[in-house]
Structure formats: C-alpha cells, structure tokens
Structure 1
Amino acid sequence: MTVIVGTVRFRARDYSAEEAAFSLPRTPTDEYDHPLATRPSTHDQVDVVESEKVDFSDPLRAPTVALVSNHDVQYASESCIGGLCDEVTLSAKEWAIFKRSLMQKFSFTQTVSVSSMSDVLVKGGKVSEKSLAGLHLEELDDPQKTAEEEVKVITRQEYISRLHELKDEIRRAWQAEDRVARLLLDTSVSQFYPTIFILVTEVLDMLGDMVWDRIKRKAEYADDGMLICSLPENFKATDVSHDAKETCNNWFCKIGSIRELLPRIYLELAILRCWRFMQDNSSAVIHRLTMMMRGLADPLASAYCHLYMAKCAQTLPLRDMGFLVTSFNDITILLTRIISGKGNSHAKSKLLITLLEPTIEWIIKGIFKDASKWKVNDIFLELGLRRDMLKLNGASPCISIVLHHLLKELPAETVKVNVLDIMQLIEDCKDITFDQYLNYRLLGFKLYESGPQKESVCVLLDKVFQAVTQYNNLDEYLKVVDAYLDIVLQYQMDNYLSMILDGISLRACNKKVTEDELGSLQSVLIKLLTHFNCLEEAFALNHFIEILDVMYGSARDIVNMHILTKATRNGCFRDPTIIQLLFEISRALHDSLDFSSLKGDDHQQSARLISRFVQMVDFGPDLERHLTFLIECRRAFGSINEIQETLVHCGNSLAIKATKDGKPLGFVKSCIAFNEVTIPSISAITGCMNLYLETAEVALICGLVSHADGLIDSAINTIQSLELSDGSRLPIEFGGILSSIRKLCGLLVIVPGNPEEGITYMPRNILSLVKSHSWVTPGIRIKVFCAIVSLSATLAQNKLPYQASNSEVVGNDELFFGEPSYFQQLVSISCSILQDLVEAIQQEPVNVARGNLALEACNCIISSFEASPEISVVCTELMEIAKSCLHANNRYLQSTCPHLRGINLSYPTDDHSSTHDLEIESR
C-alpha cells in the first residue's frame, strides 16, 4: 500500500481560459452545405435520372419479386428438359407451388378405401394377375363377395409411402405399364382424389422424363455410344434419326393398346412432348386427346384429366391455346350437370364443386397467360360471355365459380371497360357453386385497381348497394363494402360512406362479432383512418366510435395502434374530449398486452405509442389538471417501464413549467413528490437511478435543495440494493451504472454541501458502495475513484465551472469560501483514494485492461494535483504497472509520459504547513 504523507495540494484551474484555449474553432455552415439539407437542384436531378431511366442501386426502389423456395427452383430446373424456354421454366415453378397448395388444401382424409384396381398399393400385397374380363365375371357371379374382397382400407400415409416405393421401382425397372395411372379411375374417396392426382402425376412425370431421355439419347448416339449429333433446343422432326422416331412411335403404340380410356390418356400425356420427335405441330394430337376426354363419365376424373393436359401441353412449342377454351367449356358442362343435382345430394354437389375448383383456376390462368395473343373480346366470345350473346340466349351461361376465377385473371383495364357487363353476369349468377358476395367483392378490388371513371362508378355502386343491403349477415356485408370503400373515399361519395357505416352499425349492434368479421372491420376502420388527414374527422363520422367499441382482440389492438400512430404524428392534444378518448384507447391497448413476453416488437411499439401520446398532452395553463392526468396514467399504465419513465420526464417538465410561470412552490413540490412515488416502480436499475438524478436536478432548478438531497440518497440506495440477501444477483448493467455514478459526481458540483454531514458525505457513500459490493469490478471501482478525485479537485477551486440556474441555490465556492475544514475534507477523501488506488488496479486480471486503468488513474492525478513527492511516488507506481502491461508503442502510454516530466520531484515537504497551505493558490 502506498502511504501518503506530507502536503497534497489541488491544482488551480481556470475553466474559462481552458475552454477558450482548447475549443476547436467554429464557423457557421452554409444552409445548403449540410449533408442532410435539401439542395434546390435535388428535385431536378431526380427528374433527370428518372427520365433517362438510369439504373442505380437503391434497395428501396427495387421491384417486388415473388419469392420461390429452393425446392420449387430445383423442381423447375429439373423440369426444364428438352430446350424449354424461360416461360416454361416459370410455368414449372408455378406448377410446383400449385401442387403444394393442392396437397395442403385436401390433406384432411386419414384413411383411404382401396378397391381391386388399386391392389398394387396394398403393403405386401401382390399385383392382381386376373384379366379385366375375369374380374368382371367374378363381380357378376357374386357382387357382394367381390366388393368385400376388393375393398381394403389403408392409412393416408401408407398410400403415399407405397406410391413413393412404386416411383423407385419404375426408376429401376421401367415396369410401369398402366398400374399407376389406373389409380386415377378410383374416385370413391373423393376428398383424397387431389392428393392421389398429385402423387400419381409425379410418378408419370418421372416416367415421361425417362422416355424423353431414352429417345433423345437414341437420336444423338449410336448403339456403340458414339455421338452422332446434338439436337438443338428448338430441333425439328427432320433433325431426328429414323431409329429414334421408330422408338418413339413404339411407345405411343404401346400406350394405344391400353384398353381403359383414362390410363391411356394419362400415359400419352406423360410423354406428350415426345411427339416433337415425330412431328413439329402437335395441335391435332391435343385436339384428339381433348375429344377423348369427353368419354370420361366421372366429372372428377374428367376435370383432373383436363388439368393434367393443361400442364403437359406447356412443354410443347408453338402450342395452340384453343384446347384450353375447349377444356373450359367441357368443365362448365360438368358443373352445370352437378348444379342440376341429378343423383347428387346438396352436400355431395358442394363437395364436388370444391374439388373441381383447382382445375377451373389453373385452366383459366392458362387461357389468360397468353392473352396477349388474343383480343379480350375474342376470349369473351369463345367463352360465351359477351353481352350480346347473353341477350340472345336470354340467360347467363356463366357459373359463379367460373366467373370468380375469370374475373380474378382479367386485366384491371379490361374490367374497367366491361364493368357493367361483368356486373350483369354477377347479378345473374345465383347458383350454389360460389357465394355471390365474393364476386361483388372481387369486382370492387379490380375496379379500384383500374382507376375507374366516376360516372360508371355511380351506376355500379347503385347496383352493388341494392344487392348488398339485402344481406343480413355482417360478414358478407363487410366483405363487399370493404372492397368498394376505397372508391367511395377516393371520389368523396359521402352518401355511400354514410350508408356503409349505417349498415355496419345496424348489423353489428347487439351481437358478438366473429373473428372473420373482426378482420373486415379492421380493414374498414384503417382505411378511414388513412384517408382523413385529421384524426378528429374520422372520430366525427357517424358510428365510428360505436364500431370501434364492438371490436376486441388483436384486431382492436391493430386499430388502436393505427389511431395512436396517426394521432402522434401531429401537434399537441389540447381538446379534453380527444385526450380522454385517446387515453381510453391507450388503456385498452395496454391492458391487452401479454406482460409475460414484453420484449416483442408489438409490445415495444405499443409502449412507444402510449409514451408518445402522454408526452403530447397539453392542458395549457391548467397545470393541476395535467398533473392529475399523469397520476391517472401512472395508475393505468403501471406495468411498462418505458411509460413510467415518460411520466417522470413529464412530471419534471411540469415542475419546470410551473417554476417559469410563477406557480406556487407547493405545486412544484407535488410534481417532485409524484416522481418520488413513480420512480421506485421502474425495474431497470440504471433507468431508475438516472430518473432520480434528473428529478434532483429539477429540484435544484426549482430551489428545493432538501428534496434534491433526498433524491440523490435514493439514487445511491438504488445501487446499494443491487446485491440481494440470498446471494443471487439481478442482471447488472455495469456500463450504465458507471455512467450514472459519473453523472452523479457531475451533479454534486452544484449541490450545496450539508453543513452537518460535511461536504464529502455523499462522495463517501459512493466510495463505501463500490468498496463493499462484490459485483463491483476492479474497472468500475478505479473509474469511480477517479471520478471522486476529479469531483474533489473541482470543489476545491475558488470558482466552480458551473452553478445551479436558481439564484437561491448557493454554490459551495460561496457557501464554504475560506473554511479550513472544507478543504481538509476534500484532501482527506482524495488521500484515502490515493492510498487504495494502486492495490485496486492490481486486482484487475486482464493485463491490457490493467494497463489502461493505470494510465487513466495517472492522468486523473496529474490533472487534479500539484506536483509533489507524494504524487510522484503514486504516478511512478502507476506508470510501472502500465509499462508492464502495455506495449511500448501504445499511444495512450506514449501520450501520458510527457505529463510526468512536468512533476517537480524536489517539491518541498513541510510537516508543519498551515491551513493556508491546503488552499489553492492562483497561478
């Protein structure tokens, strides 16, 4: 331990002179030289760039790209065989996504009944060797026995696993025949049919790839493996050798020998692109297959067969898309038969329509995918949907579900031009295939996308609202009006807006709103909030608050957050009605939070919005009402630290405002007391301590010295309570605590010392704290030591660097001027620190950190004390520690050494120095 003897004196400081000497020169910047300033020419430059379409890397202006998973990309690349173009590659990706959605949508069946035609799937079963004729005769002899023997039940997963095994068998043995394709004849478990379709067609696609590769290799290589030619991507039939054509023809002949129609069609579709080896134009082939499908009696099997043809035809070049229109019309006929209900119950008809919907969707997409080659009117004509045809036939040939997917694919501009014709189609579609209100809804979104003319909009809205007012169901009503609300707001059609809000209020009143209805209500209210510039305008709408009150759950939270976001973007809130309404909204948002997981983004955003609202409330001169509001907020939002911290800041601001306005000191004390009660509820130790110090500073500004002393004691006690009685410790923010202690030392410069306790009462409390707690690291301890030494050196000056802004608060330089005990106390605490400094630094285990701490302490001593032998001894020990821990070229070390040379080692020692020797002498 270093023993400090003799006389230790603080250096005299002239803070004003030092500031003038060491401050960097400052010059005012030009208005447009600031990097964030907007230059007059900026907009012109942007216009030039945009007009010239210069491509530059701006991630915020990058176009939105549809993301496809790696699996889809891999699938697409594997499907891109035979020189397919980018368009086909994209179709392959779309097909992969379509398959995945189909499997997810129809994956609810857990068991599957398997008939004799599917015995190939039964685990451990043998493939039936009986002929079709034999099976038919057995069925005629004993139908019941045959049915019992043939129908077996396996789980869905067993079915899928067996299909994957078959796929591997085909890959190894090329023995597919028609066994797999025959699975699609079985529609007995209709809900599982889409899954069977996907699994079977994957096997067939693999078979088609294998056949393609075999024939292509036959065309390019001789029997001995020698390369004959390489077929180009866009090869013609004339480029293919005779042997390859013969092999290809044999495959089609083999398939043509299959007796059952459905397996024969599927297998030919699987190798459809192989026709390229024999002929350049495959339109006749596709037409023939389309006509063959009309022989499929089962509507489910027929529709999915059309779907597979639409998928396989994409692999053909220069294909004629007319077959899709034929497929579309054929499926429409099937739907018409289902709608008629002959032989089917209503539930079975609805199920069949649901199962057929994916086929309609994909085929219509295919039709409009090449819409650039068609005129839209021609498409309407081919589909039988032209207005003149409707009048001629006297009835609409369109079916609701078909119209829905047709409308979904129509370009927005086409919808705009034909909006009244489409509206007529919707009005006439009243079948069971699709809910009519969803077509009204889709038309509204499409129309808004196209930017319609106001004249046509008025006619359309009249028709829509005539229909929608008949809906008693709130969900249906909301889904329709939500789609047209954007148009109503865009053209400021207040009469329709009133009708919408009246209709919602009528249907939502006195009923429990469902989850689906909540989503639509959320959409409606957010559109209204977004449209109006002023929040008060939205609140003034008829039934707005009433509709908001029926909402609950996450939808209500989202709307509340939108309200607070919009509210806090403008100026302060002075209207008591608006303040109360926003307070209730904030309280509802607060009460809905899950406090077990407050670290989520939604929780943080909610806390920020509520805090921002509290900050923006302004009751003007009625400060008492403002303080009452803060007390209500503390009661309502007591569970979130961030809001409690905001309340303390607001309480301090209110105290300062009251002081400036000359309010009675009693009100200021009430504000300080409000903070003293609020701060302990904050769990963050660093935040709690900083708020105590902030409030103490406010108390000094207001002239409340005793309150400031109490708040500083509370701040120190906050750190004192960190170590728990059971030995466990709370998570400690070491950097934040050190920063708070340094801030406290800076505040103590202007806090009048307590004549009874002494000027060093609070610094000694801090020293006791850092010495006695085990969680205090050596680094923190050394930095606190240096902070207290600097504080003591500052307090010992004849003139302090800064004073409290309140003239009634007397600084220590005036309060204790010439008092010997004042300087003795400052020297005493500093000498106590100097005696412990070297030992404390040696406790730091990390060499580099120990060296840096030694340098920091050395610089603190040099700047605080005059040169003396005692100071020289301490600094020498510190420099030895630094040199042993740091490299000789360390810049911190090198910059510290010159300051040591200025220390006078022959400074006289006077053991009988008077009290005056302890005072600072001006230089």
Structure 2
Amino acid sequence: MCSDPRPLPESFTVEDVNDTAKETCLNWFFKIASIRELLPRLYVEAAILKCNRFLSRTGIQETLPRLTAMIRGIGDPLVAAYARAYLCRVGVEVAPHLKDSLNRNFFDLLATFRQIGGESVQNLLVVQRVEVPEYLTLYSPAINWILQCIAYRAPEVLLTEMMDRCKTMANNALLLNSIMRAFRPEFVAARATDFIGMIKDCDESGFPKHLLFGSLGRSLACADPPESERLSILNEAWKVITKVRSPQDYIGCAEVWVEFTCRHFTKREVNTVLADIIKHLTPDRAFEDAYPQLQSVIRRILTYFHDFSVLFSMERFLPFLDMFQKDGVRVEVCKSIMEVELTRDPVILNAMLHICKTMHDSVNSLTLEDEKRSLALLIVGFMRTVSFGRDFEQQLSFCVEARATFCNLEPVLVQLVHTVNQLAMETRRVMRGSHSRKTAAFVRACAAYSFITIPSLSSIFTRLNLYLLSGQVALANQCLSQADAFLKAAVSVLPEVPHSISIEGKLRSSESFLLDFINNFLATLLVVPDHPEHGVLYLVRGLLNIVQDYTWEENTDAKVRVYLSALPLLAAMSQETFLYSIPKVDSNETLYGGDPKFLSEINKLCETLIGQILDHLKALARDEQSARRQSALAFSLFGVLLAHGDLRNNKLSQLAVNLWNLSHKQGLSDTRLSVRTLEHVKHQAQQPGMAHLSEAAQRLSLQTRT
C-alpha cells in the first residue's frame, strides 16, 4: 500500500512518486513479462504504457521502440497491422511528440506487404474462401489510422517521401488509397496528375481502381488541382470510371466526381456525366438500388448551378430525374430542387410545374399535416416567382392550369386566389383606374376565377376572408355585379361558422374571429352601392338577419357587439359625404344624395338595433359576472352615441345619460376610462356648435366603488 494518500499532480515527475508505488508498478511489468504468448503480452504492456512515467523519465521513449520491434514476431500480417495500429493509438495519446515511433511502425508495415503474396497467406485465403481484393480491404482501417497519425500536421515533403516508397512496392494500391485519404486534400490535389499515373500503374486484381479514383475524387472535391491539369484529370478519371461494370461500384465513384465536374466545368461536361450515369443505371432498373447516391448527385449539382435556365437546358437533367420512381424519394428530390432560389424564366415553367406536380401527387389520406404544409410552402414559393411581365392573360392562364394541377393542397389554392386578385389590381394600376373594354373583361375573368375557386376551400374563415377580399378587389375595378356576388356569398356562408375551430391542434372559440370578420365586412359595406333590384341597405339587412338567426354561444355578448359595430356604419351612411370612397364607383351617397326616405330607413334600423341592445342590457342584472358585462356594454353603447349620435335630440341625450349611469351603477366600470371620457365630453362642449354637450356633461357623474 502507498503511504501517501494524496493524488499526484497532472504533470508529475518520477521524483514525485514514492518507492512503494514504484515497486507496485514495476511488479506489474514483471508479471506482464512472464506472459509466454507474444500477442497478449504485447497488448497488455501497450495498454499500461503510460505507467512507465512512475518508473523513469525516459521509460515511454525506450519502451515504444521495443514494442515496435516485438510486433515483427507476429506471423500473420493482418494481425500485425492491427497491433501496430493499436500501438500507434497508444503512442499518440501518451507521447504525441515521438513521431519516430509512428514512422518506424509504418515502414515495418510496408515490409510485411510481401507476405500477402506468400504461400501461407494465400493458402489461408483459399481455406476461408476470401478473394484477394476483399482481403486487402481488411487492412484499410489499420493503415488509415497509422497514416492519419503520421500525416497530422506533417509537412508536404512527407507526402512526397510516402509516394516514392509506394512506387517501389508491389501490390501498392491499398497503400496508395490510404495515403490519399490521410494527407491534406491540398497536398493531394497539387499532385493529382502524379497520383493518376500511379493509379494507372496499379495492379487491378489487387485493389479496384475505381476505389482509388473515388479517394482521389474526395480530395479534389475539397481542394483544387492546378487549372491547366483539370480537364486531363477529369478525362483520365472518367476513362476508368465508365468501364466499371457493377452499377453500385460505378455510382459510388461517379457520385464523387460529379462535384469535381460541377465545380470546375460547364453544363456541357455535367450533361455528359449525367448521360453516362443514365446509361449505366437504366439497364435492369439498377437505379432502384442507388437512390441515396443519385440524390447526392442532385444535391451536388444544385450546389453549383442556381440558374434554372442553365439547369433545365441540360438535355439529360429531366431524364435523370425520371430515374427517381419511388414516391418518397421522388418527392424529396423535387423538394430539394424547389428549395433552390428560383428563376422567373418562362422557358422553364413547364419543367418546374412537372416537379411541383410530382410533389403534389404524393399527397394522400395518410400524408401528415406537417408534410402537406412543407410541400405547400415550396409550391407557393414557386408560384410567387412566376411572372409573365405585362402579359396578364398568360399569367391568368397559368393560374387556371395550376388550380387544376394542385387541387389537393389548400394553401396553394389560397395563394392562387391572392395571385389573381393581385393581377386584377395590377391591371387597374396599369390602366390608372380607367379600364378599356378589354381590361374590364379581363378583371371580370379574374373575379370569376376567384369566385369558382373559393368554395373548394375547407377552412370556413379562409373562405370568408377571401370572399371579402375578392369583393373589395372587384369593387376597386368597378365590377359591381361581381362584388355583389362575393359579398352575398360571404353572408350566406356565415351560418356555417362553427362555435370552435382547430388552431395548431387545439380547439379555440371562433367568436373573436367571427367578430373581426364582421367588423371588416361592415367597414366595406359603406362604399358598396345598393343593388337597384334588392332595395335599400339590402346587404346590411341581410347581414343583420344572419346575425339575428345565428346560434351564438350561451352567456356571450357577441350578437350585441355586432349591433354596436353596425351603428357607426349606419351613422356614416347618413352623412351627405362619406368618410371614404372608391374612385369611379358611385356609392350610396351619390345614389341617394341625402334622400329623406333613405335617412328614414337608416333611422328605423338604428332604432331597432338600439332596442335589441337595450333589451339585452335589461336581461344582464342577475349576478356579478352579468353585471360586469352589463356595465361594459352600456359604456360601449354610450361611446357609440357620443361619437355618432346627435345629442341635441333630448330623447337620445337622456338615453346617453341613462347608459352612463347604468355603466357606473355598481362601481364596476373602468374609472380611468370614465375620467378620460368625461374630460373629452367637457372639451368637446367648448367647441363651436357643441354647446349642447355642456348640459349632458353636467349630468354625467363619476361613482366610486363601494
């Protein structure tokens, strides 16, 4: 046992180790030395090589050469190779500065290569039924590791020395392969022509040349050879690659060299490479077993060719895509193409549509929602880039074709409606709001497109919003009949709105969304002229009737809030000049011009709505929660009367005061809001022509909570 329990520091020396520890450690090494078999003795001593630090300053430096020499006694060259690899592994960990040991192990490994052709090894291969090329690949991990240790931060001259030694050896293909993998790609690329010469001189039976060219290609994908040698390098490499008979071996090598071709050459050379790949993989449908490699080829091409006009001008690109006949793989390839920055060149639209259609056709009842969203996003991204300039009719024709092609993806249909609406507004901009007979017919065709497309959408609020938006676009383009149809369609859809909708997998009340839509709809109705055959305010009445009959949730004030929103609209309609209008569209201010009958209809409708609101307020005094709702609604109606009503009318003024008192009756109102409102009333009373508000302000009192 050690008498000193304190641990040694990380950078201890032999003087820091007490005698007991030294004796224990030395005993370990003596016991290991007593092991008779060479292999276990070697591995165990290598495993505790670091313990030599307990015994001597130079223990590791002296032991490594001895263990290296011991490996020479192992008769099997394959076993010896892995023993050297392990010793290098341990040596790099405990003494990374001792490069001589690494070099000695490597040169000893080279010396054992002649054993591979010896009688004992050949007889063993016959017994085991192992071919020589397959046997040689077993050496690769060991040789690769030793060479990686040697090549780490090694100077370029070491590669030259390795190449010279390799040239003097027989069966050097395996070694050559490991050298190209171990040294820095910059060193290999600078000597690419020399490596090609060495590969050509290798024995084909020992190690396949296509694997050597594959290793060289990986280095050239990371570093550039001299410019003057690039074409000859590609030609020499492809002469060998194209002669490979096995489709799997061929595509494994060709895949690597595609990047070199794309990186340094034009579409002509890339097209030639694609043609050769098609030629090799088409027989017996060999491409079905090479989808990962073919996908890699596509990714490498897309990395260097961003211009689709160049990409699709390659004769063999689309035939190459046709080899992806498995649905899942085909969709992934199409997605990778769509993720590249797109071009607006109309020449390639058919090709892009073909790719998008492939993605769309993969959608079925089992497709996950996330996958549908991903596909739709890519297709929508493509749609947004399509432009035919001023040829608006061609753009509309494209949208018609796209609607038929992508009918299963709702986001794509939504985007198409937006695109056509934008097309109509762009036409209006070009014509500066004054349509000719031809452009008027065109914008009506755009409206018809949207009117046909929207009903096919499943999302109720998407339909409502698109009906409203398309109606606004039609109105802006003086298509009154079409605008009327859109708005009536929106009103007719309202009864279908469910009480709850799914948002991101969670059910939420649809009430807030419905109220937002109705408010937007009411704001649009101000500029919509009445239809001469349907009577005064027929759209407003139709909407309010739907709201009246709609089955609202219990304990909700949504219906009354719609009525509150309708009152400002009716007040705005009663003015001689509307707050806003659409150029070249005669709204009700022009049609009626302050006609008393029109104003009478507005007043009757306002009285009806106010009556409905007051009835609702009377029914809300049962509990504290209802009282809070009553207070909020009463204050909202007070605000509407204050902003839009004529308080010179004594009856209306008294109603406003009563609503104020009702909202403050139980001290449940927002005190700060009430104070600001009262200050606003007093300020307005001081304005010219607003003296009648002074009396009302005196009757409005603030009540504190009890």
Query: Shared topology, TM-score over 0.5?
Result: yes
CA deviations on 1:748-796 (whole Å, 9 max, x unpaired) are 1111235645416535534643773244873644543332122122112
Q: Does 1:802 align with 2:594?
A: no
Aligned to 1:871: 656
Q: What letter matches 2:49 in structure 1? A: L
- In the superposition, relative to structure 1, how do residues 348 and 417 fare at CA in structure 2: closer, same or farther (>3 Å)? closer
How far, CA to CA, are the matches of 2:286 and 2:627 in structure 1? 67
- Superposed, 1:168-187 pairs within 5 Å as none
How far, CA to CA, are the matches of 1:590 and 1:268 in structure 2? 64
CA deviations on 1:628-672 (whole Å, 9 max, x unpaired) are 432222121111121111221233344446664524555544432
- 1:583 deviates by 1.9
Q: Does 1:439 align with 2:212?
A: yes
- 1:688 deviates by 1.2
Aligned to 2:480: 705
CA deviations on 1:60-96 (whole Å, 9 max, x unpaired) are xxxxxxxxxxxxxxxxxxxxxxxxxxxxxxxxxxxxx
Contact 2:186 2:223 in 1 (8 A): yes
Farther off after superposition, 644-653 or 316-325 = 316-325
- In the superposition, relative to structure 1, how do residues 851 and 771 fare at CA in structure 2: closer, same or farther (>3 Å)? farther
TM-score using structure 2 length: 0.82
- In the superposition, relative to structure 1, how do residues 620 and 841 fare at CA in structure 2: closer, same or farther (>3 Å)? farther
Q: Does 1:793 align with 2:562?
A: no
Aligned to 1:453: 226
CA deviations on 1:154-187 (whole Å, 9 max, x unpaired) are xxxxxxxxxxxxxxxxxxxxxxxxxxxxxxxxxx
Contact 1:535 1:566 in 2 (8 A): no
Aligned to 2:145: 362
Farther off after superposition, 844-853 or 765-774 = 844-853
- 1:314 deviates by 3.8
For residue 822 of structure 1, the aligned residue among 596, 601, 620 is 601
The count of residues paired between Structure 1 and Structure 2 equals 661
How far, CA to CA, are the matches of 2:233 and 2:539 in structure 1? 82
How far, CA to CA, are the matches of 2:254 and 2:200 in structure 1? 16
How far, CA to CA, are the matches of 1:734 and 1:438 in structure 2? 67
Q: What letter matches 2:411 in structure 1? A: E
- In the superposition, relative to structure 1, how do residues 477 and 423 fare at CA in structure 2: closer, same or farther (>3 Å)? same
- Superposed, 1:642-721 pairs within 5 Å as 642-656=411-425, 660=431, 662-664=436-438, 667-721=442-496
Aligned to 2:400: 631
- Superposed, 1:125-524 pairs within 5 Å as 218=2, 221-222=3-4, 231-281=8-58, 282-297=60-75, 301-317=79-95, 319-329=97-107, 337=115, 341-344=122-125, 345-347=128-130, 356-369=139-152, 371-372=153-154, 375-378=155-158, 381=161, 385-387=162-164, 389=165, 393=168, 395-400=169-174, 402-430=175-203, 435-492=208-265, 496-509=269-282, 512-514=285-287, 517-524=290-297
Aligned to 2:334: 560
How far, CA to CA, are the matches of 1:745 and 1:771 in structure 2? 18
SS of residue in 2 equivalent to 1:284: helix
How far, CA to CA, are the matches of 1:335 and 1:741 in structure 2? 86
- 1:272 deviates by 1.6
Contact 1:303 1:359 in 2 (8 A): yes
Contact 2:571 2:645 in 1 (8 A): yes
Q: What letter matches 2:383 in structure 1? A: V
- In the superposition, relative to structure 1, how do residues 880 and 266 fare at CA in structure 2: closer, same or farther (>3 Å)? farther
SS of residue in 1 equivalent to 2:11: coil
Contact 2:547 2:559 in 1 (8 A): no
Aligned to 2:650: none
- In the superposition, relative to structure 1, how do residues 495 and 796 fare at CA in structure 2: closer, same or farther (>3 Å)? closer
Aligned to 2:550: 772
- 1:305 deviates by 3.6
How far, CA to CA, are the matches of 2:133 and 2:189 in structure 1? 32
Farther off after superposition, 426-435 or 631-640 = 426-435
Q: What letter matches 1:712 in structure 2? A: L
How far, CA to CA, are the matches of 2:537 and 2:478 in structure 1? 19
CA deviations on 1:849-908 (whole Å, 9 max, x unpaired) are 887666555433422223300122123323446x4265x5xx54543343465684967x
How far, CA to CA, are the matches of 1:434 and 1:554 in structure 2? 36
For residue 348 of structure 2, the aligned residue among 565, 578, 582 is 578
For residue 737 of structure 1, the aligned residue among 505, 511, 514 is 514
Point out where structure 2 has 5 or more consecutive residues left out of the alignment: 501-505, 648-652, 686-691, 697-706
- 1:692 deviates by 0.2
- 1:379 deviates by 5.7
SS of residue in 1 equivalent to 2:123: coil
Aligned to 1:41: none
Q: What letter matches 1:588 in structure 2? A: T
Farther off after superposition, 304-313 or 352-361 = 352-361
Aligned to 1:607: 376
Contact 2:529 2:591 in 1 (8 A): no
- 1:399 deviates by 3.7
How far, CA to CA, are the matches of 1:258 and 1:826 in structure 2? 109
Contact 1:335 1:353 in 2 (8 A): no
Contact 1:448 1:486 in 2 (8 A): yes
- 1:411 deviates by 1.1
- In the superposition, relative to structure 1, how do residues 847 and 511 fare at CA in structure 2: closer, same or farther (>3 Å)? farther
- In the superposition, relative to structure 1, how do residues 333 and 845 fare at CA in structure 2: closer, same or farther (>3 Å)? farther
Contact 1:420 1:460 in 2 (8 A): yes
Question: Which structure is richer in relative contact order (CA contacts within 8 A, separation 6 or more)?
Answer: 1
Q: What letter matches 1:613 in structure 2? A: F
- In the superposition, relative to structure 1, how do residues 862 and 485 fare at CA in structure 2: closer, same or farther (>3 Å)? same
CA deviations on 1:347-403 (whole Å, 9 max, x unpaired) are 47677656554433333322223x34xx4434653xxx333x455x3x545242x43
Identical columns (%) = 24
How far, CA to CA, are the matches of 2:638 and 2:393 in structure 1? 52
Contact 1:587 1:636 in 2 (8 A): yes
- In the superposition, relative to structure 1, how do residues 269 and 633 fare at CA in structure 2: closer, same or farther (>3 Å)? same
SS of residue in 1 equivalent to 2:646: coil
How far, CA to CA, are the matches of 2:80 and 2:409 in structure 1? 62
How far, CA to CA, are the matches of 1:754 and 1:584 in structure 2? 45
- 1:675 deviates by 1.6
Aligned to 2:362: 592
Farther off after superposition, 771-780 or 580-589 = 771-780
CA deviations on 1:678-702 (whole Å, 9 max, x unpaired) are 1112122222111000111122233
How far, CA to CA, are the matches of 1:587 and 1:468 in structure 2? 35
- In the superposition, relative to structure 1, how do residues 303 and 853 fare at CA in structure 2: closer, same or farther (>3 Å)? farther
Contact 1:398 1:425 in 2 (8 A): no
For residue 307 of structure 2, the aligned residue among 534, 556, 575 is 534
- In the superposition, relative to structure 1, how do residues 758 and 313 fare at CA in structure 2: closer, same or farther (>3 Å)? same
Farther off after superposition, 663-672 or 271-280 = 663-672
Aligned to 1:194: none
